[in-house]
Chain A
């Protein structure tokens, strides 16, 4: 018996050395791009699972954008058809869904995902098939490092976190902060680190760091520990569904300091779940729905009309922008094959989107995107501050520490 297994092993080794086929060229031109009929675009997203609200918002944004494009005659004289696949908020499903879209539906480009982990799983598939992918709202810096076919529409965590740190130190004169991160979420941990790094640099101190897991419902023990630390602000880079509960439990424990966070807070459900407990809290975001700029007003109006009077959140806005940028790039490229489309997307410059002017930098991230700090006042969102590097004509790279603190300007309250 033993000898047999040994022989198997030996044979296996010798064969594996000798018997492998010559390396074949894989990738490239997954299907001959048709030149007539609909232009097929793929979308993958979390339509079910933990992050379903984000996926649904993004999906609505994309739907609205593509309906508009098609309503005005489509691009290159053709209509755009979006095929959507659900990935259940699971990264391994995302890879399969995107493979399906590319191989079976021969999509010319892929839109998605919100969750960075899913984008990270799907990106190599797009890259190896030479199909451009635009992530509307994955903020993890690593996503676009997967290759030259991978783009994004939002700012990244190492930009968003420091901006909040600067706002706290320079505008609110805060010195002592507690950090509560979601241990299961790459987004939360990344954003927390980026924030903490800049905050300490500016002379603040992170008095206590605690963590929870996405989907927990009891945060009282972490909050009890934080309560004892006597801090001015509690920074919670997490998702809105946990934030509401964290805030209300903090108030139950008699904690009165404001909570601050990032774009994961953004959702019409935030205030519904958190209620009064969120009064005076604030977060950094991609856009503010009551912004008086024509792009935003126009978008909000159309969105409400199309989707049952719902307020669009930032993810809907980013989905909308991603789809619009893609349509625009197809128009500019004049054709739909992967490399041409990639080059067209990469050359996106000064595109007036809902979330601000979009110019893609050499690392395929938007350069110097607008960022807003939104507060919660009297049970509704109110703009606290806008940081728009473009408005100051200062070419700011979307990097962490380079975002100048003096751009924290105009404080407007509604």
Chain B
């Protein structure tokens, strides 16, 4: 006698419902950091630039020499770490969001045009995309930093100049599939020109993908920006940037671990939150995008 195991119907449904549940923790972390960034001047307990050399490397409040005036301790110039992390949230989030917006707008435009026109236009644009993808972001940013000097604007440009290519490639792939569908042909037969087909028919159908990609990439950009700042090619001091703050604590990790630890923790939390949110969005909006 053979026994056929019939999977219980209840179980997978429940698992699915769970993945559909709003990622409250991620959203909470992101919302908190966004609020903190917006309200930074109001809520930061001290001036992030104010130095107090006599109070260098004060530990966080729960350590022996810690005090409530510096809840997370101070760095080597005696600046309040909590205030610097709060202001650093502005830099990181602004860099992340701005870069991704610039990159996605440009990349999506390239992808839409390449996919719509096909042929030689497509081939040319895609070769440029491939070339771009093969260029390391960090190297380009270092070159920019050395030649034009490090600044917030240059960081955004350096990352966006490389990052758009991913959008171009993914969106072009989607457009190629969409172009096979009759409603595009129908729109063209109805007299719609290239602009109308691209903006009214192709773009709205790629928005799901764009949203997923944007969310996943914000975390990535925050990491890249932090790496650049860590290397000294990013946001120049004394502006508080998380990556730069980690670099400042590098030499004293054994004696004053908090200087590097807390900015690192902030990066970890934000990036993790964006990645989890992105995963959730992908599973919900567009499960075909598993490979992203």
A and B from one assembly?
no
